[in-house]
Structure 1
Amino acid sequence: MKRTLALIATAVLVAGCGGGGGGESAAPQQGSPGKVTLEWWHLSTAEPLKSLWAQRAKEFEAKNPNVTIKATVLENDAYKAKLTTITQSGQAPDVFASWGGGVLKQQIDAGLVKDISADVADVLPNFTPAALSAYQLDGKTYGLPTDIGMVGFWYNKKLFQQAGITEPPATWSAFLDDVKKLKAAGITPIALAGKEKWPGHYYWAYLAMRIAGLPALQQAGVDHDFTKPDFVAAGQQLKALADLQPFQKGFLGAAYSTPDGQAAAVSNGKAAMELMGQWAPSVQADAGKGLGEDLGFFPFPAVEGGKGAATDAFGGGGGLAVGADAPPEAVAFVKFMTEMGNHSKAVEAGGVLPVLKGEESVIKDANLKQVATLLATAGGYQLYLDQAYPPAVGQQVNDSTAELIGGTKTPEEVGQDITEVAKSEG
């Protein structure tokens, strides 16, 4: 969020915020013109969402003159760090971006998130079940989605052609062969934000899905055991990729969305591809020159002999949750943001994928249409591991994967380290 999911719409704690205290005043009595300030945290730092979300906030303020919205907008890692800090102190912003899953569950269990089931009951039928599922727990709704998507490879068609690659690889062995072809042609195969760690976990997660199968990842969340042979095999295949030295020079210190980071390397033609979520085109265009029609997309390849289906998708979306102590205006704002007339503008602009039934028709970008189609036909779906599992486990997945890619941990040690944290958390 990854996700910059995005999935996604990703702090300095504004003075006087008070976390989840409803801003500068208590909720006004019915009919009262009392002033309310809503603290809204999100991570949409790139266009078009950065401007679109700001515009939506202004429109809401115009419709509700008693409401002022103070937005805190941070990139992925800074957002997660600040949100973790404030929630650990027992507070939450009035409205905040969430990926759902295990992290949201922990916040719910801590009493930091409002149950908005009754407030949004009238609009729930408008959403697709897949988009909504990450924000529902035990039959209750704790947020509304703003994005849904999947991670896959975004690639430079021109660079693939220069390396003699005529079509995207459908298998892992073909993918490794293509990496070798790109290197032989003097082209950097893959851009990676090694500094931020979460982009690297996509590789291990997808390989685990393809080799062990989706149920194995889900079971690991229950029995807290990541040392099984198929998980080790996933690490071995990632090591096989890393041993080819496919990443750009200095990747271990590279960020994701900066002018010299992962997205820009692909956008400026300095690397042939990146494994990233549905927000990749907009971040690429924001960070670099943009590839235009030379940008293509292909799903993560199948692994020969693996138990996982090639149609299983890995990814997530973005949503808006409401702090437990937030005033009623916070729920009204979340509903406003996800109305068809408002949300479809973000879909049309290419910032997010459809979460409302019927929005598919406004997708203009061919690559995003492909993502939406693959998502609609996915046999199974796995949320980002650093969101699906409890925060400490997800962080260990990211850390261990980074160490594996960097050559300081073995595939076996990766499984052992994650298991140790998972069992301590379980």
Structure 2
Amino acid sequence: MSLPRRGIAVLAASALLLAGCGGGDPESAPGASAGGKVTVEWWHIGTAEPLKSVYAGWAKEFQARHPGVTVKVTVLENEAFKSKMATQTASGKAPHLFATWGGGVLKQQADAGLAKDLSSEAGPILGGFTPAALSAYQFDGKTYAIPTDIGMVGFWYNKKLFAKAGITEPPATWTAFLDAVRKLKAAGVTPIALAGKEKWPGHYYWAYLAMRIGGLGALQQAAGTKDFSGPDFVEAGRRLKELADLKPFQTGFLNAAYSAPGGQAATVGSGKAAMELMGQWAPAVQKDAGGGLGEDLGFFPFPAVEGGKGAVTDAFGGGGGFAVGADAPAEAVEFLKFVSDPARHRAAVGAGAVMPVLKGAQDAVKDPNLKVVADTLAGATGFQLYLDQAYPPAVGQEVNDSVAELIAGGKSPEEVARAITETAKSE
């Protein structure tokens, strides 16, 4: 999942200028109002249950404990959030509290003076988070967001449809995975649901294949050299084309959204496709969009690629957190401290709304599918943040765009590697 990318570099510079033009009148400061009352603007993308209710409960409880403070909640679907956030940052301002996945996007927001350095104000609680949960939000020794969730991307599959196709166990290798796709098609089952319209779900395939073929180090090295033209990245594209050539996706996938009715999540949740490659939030969104599969839902990690240098135990994913706008009132930071309380976080984990980001909270995971994810992540030998977050926004966008064209048949594996490299070198 991703934040707006194109144009951020330009907006960042203008934002720095605009941010320095505000007056010092306390009555005009964001969040301030007559009578000493304060409003905290909170933008989040928790549109599905149980997260939506958990977030609403947090806001209500915080207001009850802090008379005079109003938490003004804006709930947005992922794509709508990206669009609205782009408009907001173009004005040189950011919401008081806003969703973030960290990485290159958050760094540019921080460099533009839009996101507050929380190292000092939130310092007392930072030691309670796991290093993996915090890492995506830390740059140059400073922390710019507080994590609320972490997890990994893997395949969520329908056990009943796998059984119908004669697949007795989840595929552990790429060859076995392609064979499973063929068996599902032969059984009259749509193998995979994909939100082609939104592009970011498709980049998961290319990223994982690059990890499995070149190893985690290849992606990390490319971030520094800005060179994605090597044979391992081209091979990742070839393997993805190999899958796309089997026509495994649902009819109309190129125009399908992720969480909208009839989209990727709904297609899997209603039993119309056998699997999807998605993050830990998948069961909740499937249930919200299509009814959910209950005990028929299973999870397996992205398969190994024969001959590849990457370990099958290396995970790809990320979490979610909240950054604080540079002009936000102090109550915004207090709200983040409030929601990071161990008992409150454990309750959210137990409800299946988030995965644990605090040390010692792993035992609070109750949902069996999420426990599989938590256990898989706990045994991970390496971790790679979503590429459209780990890399600068323009590079991340090019990954999404080029991979989407590859899947649609409009670009070759070599052209994908070349386009990403050219964008990276122009940054």
TM bucket normalised to smaller:
over 0.9
Which SS does the other structure have where 1:274 is aligned? strand
Distance 1:345 1:27 in 2: 31
Give the match for residue 184 of structure 1: 186
CA positional deviation for 1:81: 2.3
Amino acid of the structure 2 residue aligned with 1:274: E
Alpha-carbon distance change, 23 to 215 in structure 1, aligned in 2, over 3 angstroms? farther
Does the CA-based 8 Å contact 2:31-2:39 persist in structure 1?
no
Give the match for residue 129 of structure 2: 127
Does the CA-based 8 Å contact 1:19-1:92 persist in structure 2?
no
Give the percent of matched residue pairs that are identical in Structure 1 and Structure 2. Answer: 72
Give the match for residue 203 of structure 2: 201
Distance 1:274 1:143 in 2: 29
Does the CA-based 8 Å contact 2:153-2:277 persist in structure 1?
yes
- What does residue range 15-414 of structure 1 map to in structure 2 within 5 Å? 26=29, 34-414=36-416
Which SS does the other structure have where 1:319 is aligned? strand
Using the TM superposition, name which of 322-331 and 77-86 deviates more: 77-86
Distance 2:364 2:264 in 1: 29
Which SS does the other structure have where 1:119 is aligned? coil
Alpha-carbon distance change, 333 to 77 in structure 1, aligned in 2, over 3 angstroms? same
Distance 1:23 1:193 in 2: 46
Distance 1:294 1:405 in 2: 28
CA positional deviation for 1:25: 5.2
Does the CA-based 8 Å contact 2:166-2:183 persist in structure 1?
yes
Does the CA-based 8 Å contact 2:31-2:328 persist in structure 1?
no
Which SS does the other structure have where 1:158 is aligned? helix
Distance 2:415 2:315 in 1: 26
Give the match for residue 7 of structure 1: none
Distance 1:25 1:370 in 2: 49
Does the CA-based 8 Å contact 1:19-1:93 persist in structure 2?
no
CA positional deviation for 1:341: 2.0
Which SS does the other structure have where 1:122 is aligned? helix
CA positional deviation for 1:19: 10
CA positional deviation for 1:396: 0.8
Distance 2:26 2:359 in 1: 33
Distance 1:198 1:24 in 2: 41
Distance 2:27 2:172 in 1: 55
Distance 1:84 1:103 in 2: 12
CA positional deviation for 1:84: 2.4
1:249-301 CA distance string (max 9 Å, x none):
11011111112000011111100000000000000000011100000000000
Which SS does the other structure have where 2:262 is aligned? coil
1:227-250 CA distance string (max 9 Å, x none):
111100000000000000000011
1:106-152 CA distance string (max 9 Å, x none):
11111111111111221112111110111111111111100000000
CA positional deviation for 1:28: 9.3
1:312-355 CA distance string (max 9 Å, x none):
00000000110111111010011111211222222111111000
Distance 1:25 1:51 in 2: 32
Alpha-carbon distance change, 42 to 19 in structure 1, aligned in 2, over 3 angstroms? farther
Distance 1:23 1:161 in 2: 65
Amino acid of the structure 1 residue aligned with 2:383: Y
Amino acid of the structure 2 residue aligned with 1:41: W
Q: Could you list the runs of 5+ residues in structure 1 that have no partner in the other structure?
A: 4-17
Does the CA-based 8 Å contact 1:23-1:94 persist in structure 2?
no
Alpha-carbon distance change, 245 to 67 in structure 1, aligned in 2, over 3 angstroms? same
Distance 1:263 1:34 in 2: 45
Does the CA-based 8 Å contact 1:146-1:352 persist in structure 2?
yes
Using the TM superposition, name which of 218-227 and 147-156 deviates more: 218-227
CA positional deviation for 1:45: 0.8
Does the CA-based 8 Å contact 1:23-1:36 persist in structure 2?
no
1:71-104 CA distance string (max 9 Å, x none):
1111112212221232233111111111011111
Give the match for residue 13 of structure 2: none
Distance 1:44 1:109 in 2: 27
Give the match for residue 10 of structure 2: none
Which SS does the other structure have where 1:269 is aligned? coil
1:402-421 CA distance string (max 9 Å, x none):
10000011001111111111
Distance 1:185 1:49 in 2: 36
TM-score, normalised to structure 1, is 0.93
Distance 1:215 1:244 in 2: 30
Alpha-carbon distance change, 331 to 33 in structure 1, aligned in 2, over 3 angstroms? farther
Does the CA-based 8 Å contact 1:23-1:37 persist in structure 2?
no
Distance 1:201 1:19 in 2: 34
Which SS does the other structure have where 2:298 is aligned? strand
Distance 2:281 2:84 in 1: 22
Distance 2:130 2:26 in 1: 32
Amino acid of the structure 2 residue aligned with 1:289: G
TM-score, normalised to structure 2, is 0.92
Does the CA-based 8 Å contact 2:30-2:327 persist in structure 1?
no
RMSD: 2.0
* Number of aligned residues: 409
